[in-house]
Structures are given as C-alpha cells and as structure tokens.
C-alpha cells in the first residue's frame, strides 16, 4: 500500500532494522546503493578514470542519481536519516527533492541537530530520533 | 527575462556582489531573509515563546519556508552558495527542492567540498568557485 | 478498475457497508485510521508527550496526514461522509484536497446540511444521503 | 512579490485589517465575494429560481467557485480564518484545495478549535489567533 | 503494454470488433457504460426524480463522468468514433479532454465529416474510417 | 484579474456583446479567429493547395489550434457557446480541452440542447442561455 | 524496479545485447518498432497511399509516435544510441522529449560525435560508447 | 499575446527576418545565444580549460541549456529551423523538449529533409520551408 524510500547516510545498516521491523506489512522498501566503494567508483569503473577528482566524482554521482531520483519519484514516503558523521548534503538534497515532489517526509536525527535541521524538520510529517519510531509510524499508517 | 533566486549561506553579503554585477540586465533577483537574528526569532516574535527549542525553531522555519519555497517556484535559476561554516543543510535542501521542480541550478563552493557536494554538483548546470563567475554566466545567458 | 478512498467521519462504521456492498467488484478501497483513540494518540505514543495540547495534536495530525494525503493521491474517487456530530473540518479539508487533485468526489450528508455544504456539493460528481446510494453508483460505474 | 488569497469566514471585515496593515508592501490581495446575500443569490439572479433549495444553492456555489478556485490558483499564500459561528466547511475545503496545490497556508483561529482543526493546522505554515499576527508574518516575508 | 479507452457513440457495438480483433495482445480496453437507458437513468435511479429535465440529465451525466474522465486518465490511447446519428458532443468533449491530458487519439469517422471534424482530426495521431484499421494500428504498435 | 477565452461558434458576433458588457472591468478577453474564410483558408494560403480536402482542412486546423489551445491555457475561465447551426464539434472539443486543464467553464446554449449537451453542462460551473447572463456572472466574480 | 526505453537507431540489433545482458534483473525493457520497412509503411498500409511523400511519411510517423511517446512516458530511464549513419533526428527528438519529462537519459555514441551531441550529453546522466557499459550501469542501479 | 522561441540553427540570421516581419504585433521573441564562438567557449571562459574536449564542450553546453530550456518553458510557440549544414541534433532535441511540454511547434526545413524529419514534422502544428511563411502564420494567429 506504501512505497517507502530510505534515503540518507550509508555508513551504518540502519535500513535493515526498519525493513525487518515492518516484515509482513504491505510496504515496499527502496534503498540507495549502500556499498560505499562501489557507489564512489561506478563512474571510474564504467567510463574509465577521468584523471580529475571533480569529474570522477561527477560521473559517479550522476549515475547514482538515476537511482535516487527515480526511487524518490516512485515513493509515497521518504525517510531520511542524518547521522553523526560527514557533511550529508546529499541527504538534505534528497529531502528537498522529495518535499518539492510532495512526498511525505520522515526525518531521523539526534537532538543536537535540531537547529541545523530546522528547515528540513519544518517540511517533514514526522521527526524522530530512532529507527523503531519509524517502524511504529509505518505500522500505524497501514493497519 | 530571468528570475534568479539566491539561496544558501546568509553569513556573508555575497548576494550583493552578484546583484550589483548584473545591474542594467533584465534579471529579477529574489533572496531569502538575510537578517539572521530576525530569521531565527520570527516564530517567537509572532506566536510567542514555545518554551521548547525544537518548537521555537520549528515555527520560525515554517514561516521562513513560505519565502524560500515560493521564491524557488518563481525562479528560473537558483544559485546556491556553500561557504566554509555551519552545516548548511538548508542550502542543500533548497538545491534539492529546486532540482525536483526542474529549475536550473548554479552551485558556488570551494574546491575542498568537491566530494561532499558531488550529488548536488551532479544536478547543477554550472559549478563555480566565486560570485564573479556567476555574474559572467548570467550576463552570457541574457545578452 | 477503481481505487476509492473513504474519507470523512470515523465515529460510525459506515465504510463497512460500502465495502461489503461492493464485494466481488474490481474496486480497491482505502480508508483512514478508524480507531479514534489510536489516531489521536499516535503522536504521544511515538515521540512522547509534548506537554502542550497544540503540539500533541499537531504531531498526531501530521503523522495521520501521511495516510490521508497519500491515499487521496492513490484514489480515482473519494467518498466523503458528513455526519451529525463534531466539526468535521478534516472531512471538508480532504474534500478540498481531492478536488484540487481532480479526483472524483461523492458526498454523503443529510438534507439539513444542504446550505452549509453547498461549496463542497458544487465540487462533487454525486451528492447522496446514504451508503447504499454510493454502492449503487460504484456498481453502475464498473459494470 | 506575493499574491495572497484571504479565504474563510465572510461575516466580519477581518480582511480589511490585513490589507490595510500591509499597505506599501508589494503584496497583491485577492478576496472572495464578501457580500453574503449577493453570494447566496447570484444563482437565482442569473439563471432564475430553481424551485428547489438544493439547486438554488448549487448554482450559486458553482458560480462562486469560479472565483475561489481561480484565486487560490493565482495565490502564493492562502490565509484561512475560522470564526466562532457557522459550520465553515467551505473554509476548510479551501484550505484543502490550497494545500493540495502546494500553496502556503496561514490559519487564523481561536484556541478552542485546536483539536477540531488539527489536520488543517498540520498542513499550515503558520497558525495564529489574530490578524495582526498575519500582518507581522507577511511583512517579515517581504522585507 | 497499452491501456486503450474506447470513447464515442454507444448506439452500435463497434467496440466489440476492436476488442475481439486484438485478442491475445497485451492491451487493456476500457469502455464507457454502453447500456444507453441505464446511462441516462442512473441519476433518477439513485437520487430520485429531480422533477426537471435539466437536473435529471445533470445528475446522470455527472455520475457517468466519473467513469469517462477516470478512464481517459488511465488510458495511453483514446479511440473516439463519430457515427452518423445524434449530436455526439460528448464524443468531441472526450476527445478534447484526452488531447489536453496528452493522450494519443485515434479518430474513426466517415469521409463526410472531414470538414466538421478538422480540429479533432488535427489533434489525432491517426484518422481512420473503420474499426479494422484501428485493430491494424494497435497490433502494429505492440508487436 | 481574470483571463477569459470565448470559444465556440463563430457565425454570429456574440463575443462583442460580452466584451462590451464588461468594459471597465479588469478582465482580459481572448478569442479565436472569427473571420471564417480566413480561418478555413490559412493552410492553403501559407503552404499552398494540398490537392486534397482532408489535408487542406488539416493544415488550417492545426495552425488554428496554436491559437485555441494556447489561449485556453492562458485562460482562467472558458465560455463556450453552442448555436443552432452546424456540428460544432470543435466547440465541444474546446470545452473538453478546458475541463481537463481544470479551467472554469461557462456554457451558453438554448434549452433544446439540454440532453445533447448534458456531459458538457455537467463539467461546467454555469449553464446559461444568453450573453447578458455571462456578463452578469463575470461582473459578479470580480466586484 | 526500472522501466527502460531503448530509443535511437534501428539499423543494428544493439538493443538485444542490452536486454540479454540484464537477464535476471528486475528491469522491463520497451523498444520502438524495429522492422524499418513496417515502420515506414504502416501509414500506407492502414489508410492507403496518400499520393504524396510528405503525407505518406506523416501518417506513418504519427502512428509510430503513439508508441515512442507513450513508452517514454512509461519509462524511468531512456537509453538513446547514435550510430554512424543517417540523420537520426528522431533519436535526438526522443532525447529531448525524455529530458523535458524528467526521465533519466543514457546516451551511447562514438567519440567523434562529442561536439555535435554536446547539448544532449549535457542533459544525460551518463554518456558511454558501447552497450556493455549500459549493462554495467543498469546492473549497478538495481543491485 | 504570444511568446515565441526561435530555436534551431545559428549559422544564418534567419531569426531577424521573422522578428522584423512581426514588428508591431504583440509577440515576444526569445532566442538562443547566436554568437557561435561565445556559445562554444563560455565554459572555458568561466571555469577555465578542462583540458579535455568532452568536458570543455560539456561545461559550455550545460550553461547554454539554462537559456534554451528556460526559454522553451516561457514560450507558447517554438519555431525550429533545420538548415543544410551540420548535424543539428540540438535543434531536434529542442523540438522534442518543446513537444513534451506541450508547446506548439513550427518547423522550417527544405523539402529534401521530409523523410529524415518525419517524426518531428509529425509533432508540429505547421511545417514550412521559409521564414515569410512563419511570419504569415504568426500574424494570422494574433489578428
């Protein structure tokens, strides 16, 4: 009944706990590539070394965007997790992309990011701190 | 002939150099609130203290989103600047919002952010390091 | 062949008589949460007591909106029932939401509400007083 | 810079205080018909008595919807006021119509309606109790 | 692979020859109500006699529009047949509705209507005189 | 404040009475080509005789559609008049085109067409018999 | 999980190597008619010889556009191959059609076309020289 | 009353004869950059030499696309001219882009391209051989 895209950080396996927590429910989960190295190197692997950091990243990012943009369009609900590490601008970008397409947004982040994430939280339908809360929400929406 | 929204960091006056640089050209510039304190406190000022950091930020962010989302919709081109300081997740969110609405995106950032911003650069029509480059592009587009 | 969302009052079990009346027909029915207490308390249950009536309601309402807005988008036809009790502004809101997305609207209400509901009736493809009439219409549309 | 539609109750002259409060600012205000009798009777006046309450209301409501729906489409921001009297389902309908078209929503209502309006407040960018607060917000958005 | 709506006149069984001609091909056919009496009387049957020709027709037409508009939205291709009898303004209306939604249009009509149907033919992807030609086109499109 | 396209029959000068009746009001009127011969012959005049009735009509119809489709898109309200003569399928086509784009529709026709035009009347916001009624409605909508 | 339309030249069997290379993956492939003669002659075959090169081509092209435009709309990703022969303006047209609908674009072409295809490459998410590279990208996107 | 974008080849000054021919008519003309060298070199000029033909072209093409895509979106009518020289894939791309956005298309090309341009001609509202014919059409549409 719902298609849910799990955007955001790919350095921990947080997606699995949500997918496992919703087993048996009529929810289709979509995810980004989460093998970090493969994600970073797909450009180089397919079109060869561009001999330039910017373009090596550029080619990979554009290939990966075919997945993230398409899956956000397929989704009813987009869950974005902001973790402790890295800039995570792509997570915020995905949140904006989803919001503009009028997808429902659930944001996961620790309390310390309240001020920095206020614009994204303002666009969200729910703001939580942990994966089990997302599971509770999704189960509530579908029973 | 073009409406340009200048999103991104509000800690320096980078917008002015672009607006001034394009004087005499048929471009309408739109900007976010750039009085940081006023932007942060509008919620408290209008609906009173919510006695809770999250909700004080929430009320302000939603009021300010009326401006940023509306102006992105009005724009043909959205310029986003990522500076050295702060998380700037709202800048990345605005970039995603603009990209999903098929607005043209120009991103300004220093070289050190190439890897962290690769997804946003991948969605951009131009990636530059300084404001004069934006002026050159805008003038080129309209002559 | 049709997806039908049954919006409106959740204090009686009127939805069941429509769903049962259409058994065997190729219609998928979607419904809001109809456990009133669960619907009201989901916010408190998931993110904790906000210590403030407005925000407790706010959190629950936004979570529930993920269901109602998504299901209206999935629907071809939205049925809205206005009963005798309560303000039912959410029913009218859902009707407006559906109308703006160009969904077909069937409104159920007693005669006494003719004047108060004239704008919503004006946007409807059918205005009836009872559930069996909705069943007759849906069966007519699909045979 | 903004087009603002003032929807909601037409039994008091609350719109004037907002329009007057924003004088000198680059805001275009749109309003519904606020002569209640003229609004109710336009159908009868133009196409004659339909000899039936439902259809007399129906004809008037559909004519008036040409104004309200068109003006909501023209607007960037829709302000909806819920007063103490009447059912006001058309106000809630307009709020839903605006929300589905991704217009920004400001809701004015007294505290006693917090629970009854939670779904509409949940879709709003600002919830206030009085017209001067709307003026403060609009002035903030445009300076 | 294609969903095809067969709009237009309901006084002959022309639809069957197309549906039968495409048996075994991956095409889903949608049709309007083709029991003329049932179509005309659904309003009276469901909400009772409106004691007025205009409103009896109005109620039926709006109920039937839930089918025709929804099915046009579901369709990739809309086939419209103009026969020798009646005004057939609803067929032309459906053609306009389909064209505005960027659906592909196939028009069937005898040569004598070339001048009267020039605007509709101008919006069509194919103009033919008989059902077997439609079958040939659909089979060509899918092989 | 409104843009109104006057579609439908071009054999009488009914448009002028509406335009004159609304003088001084903030309404922009758009009209189709109403020189019948010029409209029919534009194809032949520009690209030469196609030596075939169908294609001579086809070329003219497609050129004229640039006007009618563009003006319907520009319009808030589309007025369609059905007169006594000719097939007027293009009028019905324009009505369908306008309805699908969610434009507000006012239909003018004599009583004898009630049954034949029921689907188009069902999509209209007002159904009248004469031009002065259209003037009354437009003036009501804008005062 | 993805629907992929394989547009572009129909003089070699390049599509098969991509489809075969992705066997076992959850990708639906859509293709244009690739029997060149049948594609060219469908108009003549269905509506008869138009006794004019332009119109014989015109009728066939419009029939075939029902397939190409519909399949591009169904697709998430459009692959366009530019070969060594012919003008291939229809390949470029399909690329523009896909880009405007915000479909993801993969372009295959030999190095010698870099300058001539720069605008299309600029709209693409990936630019490659051979079919196996497309297979690598599609497999990467779905694992 | 119309906005017209003049796409296509930039090696002759064909645009001027159309603009001059329509002087005094209420038509706004938009054009691409037509200084070929400036168009090719804008990337190198703004972000420096990318030391690679592909990327030098890529950067320029993406900057120029901000103009062409934005102007096509602004336009009601897009005129595309195919001349005798060069591949002109960008002209075909612009035609596809315009068609997908439901812009009206006028194509100018010599007779020899009838077969090669049949798909683009099939999507056009008018196909002509010279600029004065475009002037005749535009004047016809607006009088």
What percentage of residues in chain F have a pLDDT greater than 90?
89
Interchain CB distance below 8 Å, H63 and B143: no
What is the spatial distance between Cα G5 and Cα G138, in angstroms, rounded to a whole number? 12
* Strand residue runs (E) in D2-143: 2-8, 27-30, 77-81, 104-108, 126-128
What is the spatial distance between Cα B24 and Cα A130, in angstroms, rounded to a whole number? 52
- In what side-by-side order are the strands of the sheet with G104-108? G27-30, G2-8, G77-81, G104-108, G126-128
* Strand residue runs (E) in chain B: 2-8, 27-30, 77-81, 104-108, 126-128
Q: Which tens digit of pLDDT belongs to each residue from G71-123?
A: 999 999 999 999 988 899 999 999 999 999 999 999 999 999 999 999 999 99
Which is nearest to B96 in space by CA: B119, B64, B62, B112? B119
Which is nearest to C67 in space by CA: C87, C94, C92? C94
Q: Give H87's contacts (C-beta < 8 A, 6+ positions apart).
A: G87, G113, G116, G117
pLDDT above 90 for D70:
yes
What percentage of residues in chain H have a pLDDT greater than 70?
100
Higher pLDDT, C12 or C125: C125
Of G38, G59, G69, the CB nearest to E104: G69
pLDDT confidence tier of residue F20, bands split at 50, 70 and 90: very high
What is the spatial distance between Cα G35 and Cα G17, in angstroms, rounded to a whole number? 17
Question: Which of H64, H93, H128 is the best substitution to test chain G (most G C-beta atoms within 10 A)?
Answer: H93
Beta bridge partners of B106: B79, B126
Mean pLDDT per 10-residue segment, chain E (143 residues): 94 94 98 89 96 96 98 98 93 98 98 97 98 98 91
pLDDT above 90 for G1:
no
Of all residues in chain H, the one with the smallest CA distance to G117 is H89
pLDDT of residue B35: 85
H/E segment holding residue E9 = none
What is the spatial distance between Cα G8 and Cα G92, in angstroms, rounded to a whole number? 8
Of H42, H47, H59, the CB nearest to B140: H42
| pLDDT < 70 stretches in chain B | none
Which is nearest to G58 in space by CA: F47, H34, E10? F47
Question: Which of F55, F56, F57, F58 is the best substitution to test chain G (most G C-beta atoms within 10 A)?
Answer: F55
Length, in residues, of chain D = 143
Q: Give C112's contacts (C-beta < 8 A, 6+ positions apart).
A: none
pLDDT of residue B1: 87
Which is nearest to F47 in space by CA: H29, G52, G87? G52
Across D33-46, average pLDDT: 91
What is the spatial distance between Cα C119 and Cα F125, in angstroms, rounded to a whole number? 12
pLDDT of residue D1: 87
Interchain CB distance below 8 Å, A82 and B100: no
CA distance C90 to chain D (A): 6
Question: Which of E67, E73, E97 is the best substitution to test chain C (most C C-beta atoms within 10 A)?
Answer: E67
H/E segment holding residue A116 = none
Chains that touch F (3 or more CB pairs under 8 A): D, E, G, H
Across H53-80, average pLDDT: 98
- In what side-by-side order are the strands of the sheet with A27-30? A27-30, A2-8, A77-81, A104-108, A126-128
CB hemisphere CA count around H117 (13 angstroms)? 29
What is the spatial distance between Cα B25 and Cα B22, in angstroms, rounded to a whole number? 6
Contact D130, D110 (CB under 8 A): no
Interchain CB distance below 8 Å, B60 and A98: no
What is the spatial distance between Cα B60 and Cα B39, in angstroms, rounded to a whole number? 7
* Strand residue runs (E) in D32-139: 77-81, 104-108, 126-128
Q: Which tens digit of pLDDT belongs to each residue from F37-71?
A: 889 999 999 999 999 999 999 999 999 999 999 99
Question: Architecture of domain C2-33+75-142 in CATH?
Answer: 3-Layer(aba) Sandwich (3.40)
pLDDT tens, residue order, chain A (143 aa): 899 999 998 888 999 999 999 999 999 999 998 888 889 999 999 999 999 999 999 999 999 999 999 999 999 999 999 998 889 999 999 999 999 999 999 999 999 999 999 999 999 999 999 999 999 999 999 98
Across H129-135, average pLDDT: 98
CA distance G111 to chain H (A): 9
Of all residues in chain D, the one with the smallest CA distance to B38 is D140
Which is nearest to A90 in space by CA: B80, B98, B117? B117
Q: How do the domains of chain E map onto residue ranges? A: 2-33+75-142
Contacts of C91 in chain D (CB under 8 A): 89, 92
Phi, psi angle pair for G8, to nearest 5°: 100, -160
DSSP G9: -
- What average pLDDT does chain H have? 96
Interchain CB distance below 8 Å, B66 and D141: yes
DSSP string, chain C: -EEEEEEE--SS-HHHHHHHHTTTSSEEEE-----HHHHHHHHHHHH---SSHHHHHHHHHHHHHHHHHHHHHH-SEEEEE--SSS--HHHHHHHHHHHHTT-EEEEE--GGGTTTTHHHHHT-SEEESSHHHHHHHHHHHH-
Interchain CB distance below 8 Å, B62 and D128: no
DSSP F35: -
* Segment H13-22 long-range contacts (CB within 8 Å, at least 24 positions apart): H14/H81, H14/H108, H14/H131, H17/H131, H17/H132, H17/H135, H18/H79, H18/H131, H18/H134, H18/H135, H18/H138, H21/H131, H21/H132, H21/H134, H21/H135, H21/H139, H22/H135, H22/H138, H22/H139
Query: Helix or strand or coil: residue B105?
Result: strand
Q: Give H52's contacts (C-beta < 8 A, 6+ positions apart).
A: A50, A52
Q: Which tens digit of pLDDT belongs to each residue from C19-40?
A: 999 999 999 999 998 888 889 9
Across F93-106, average pLDDT: 98
What percentage of residues in chain G have a pLDDT greater than 70?
100
What is the spatial distance between Cα B103 and Cα F53, in angstroms, rounded to a whole number? 45
CA distance F116 to chain G (A): 31
> Nearest 5°: CA angle at F54, between F48 and F60?
50
Of C95, C97, C114, the CB nearest to D57: C114
Q: Which tens digit of pLDDT belongs to each residue from E58-93?
A: 999 999 999 999 999 999 999 999 998 889 999 999
What is the spatial distance between Cα H7 and Cα F127, in angstroms, rounded to a whole number? 43
What is the spatial distance between Cα F117 and Cα F92, in angstroms, rounded to a whole number? 9
Question: Which of A46, A69, A72 is the best substitution to test chain G (most G C-beta atoms within 10 A)?
Answer: A46
pLDDT above 90 for D102:
yes
Interchain CB distance below 8 Å, B33 and D127: no
Contact B2, B142 (CB under 8 A): yes
pLDDT of residue H143: 83
Contact B84, B112 (CB under 8 A): no
């Amino acid at each position: 009944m719902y298609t849910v895209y799990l955007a955001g950080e790919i350095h921990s396996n947080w997606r699995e706990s949500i997918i496992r927590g919703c087993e048996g429910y009529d929810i289709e989960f979509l995810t980004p590539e989460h093998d970090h190295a493969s994600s970073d190197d797909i450009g180089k692997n397919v079109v060869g070394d561009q001999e330039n950091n910017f373009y090596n990243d550029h080619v990979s990012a554009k290939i990966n965007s075919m997945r993230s943009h398409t899956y956000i369009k397929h989704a009813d609900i987009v869950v974005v997790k902001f973790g402790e590490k890295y800039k995570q601008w792509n997570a915020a970008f995905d949140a904006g992309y989803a919001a503009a397409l009028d997808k429902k947004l659930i944001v996961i982040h620790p309390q310390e990011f309240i001020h920095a994430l206020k614009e994204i939280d303002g666009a969200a339908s729910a703001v939580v701190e942990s994966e089990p809360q997302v599971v509770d929400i999704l189960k509530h929406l579908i029973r």
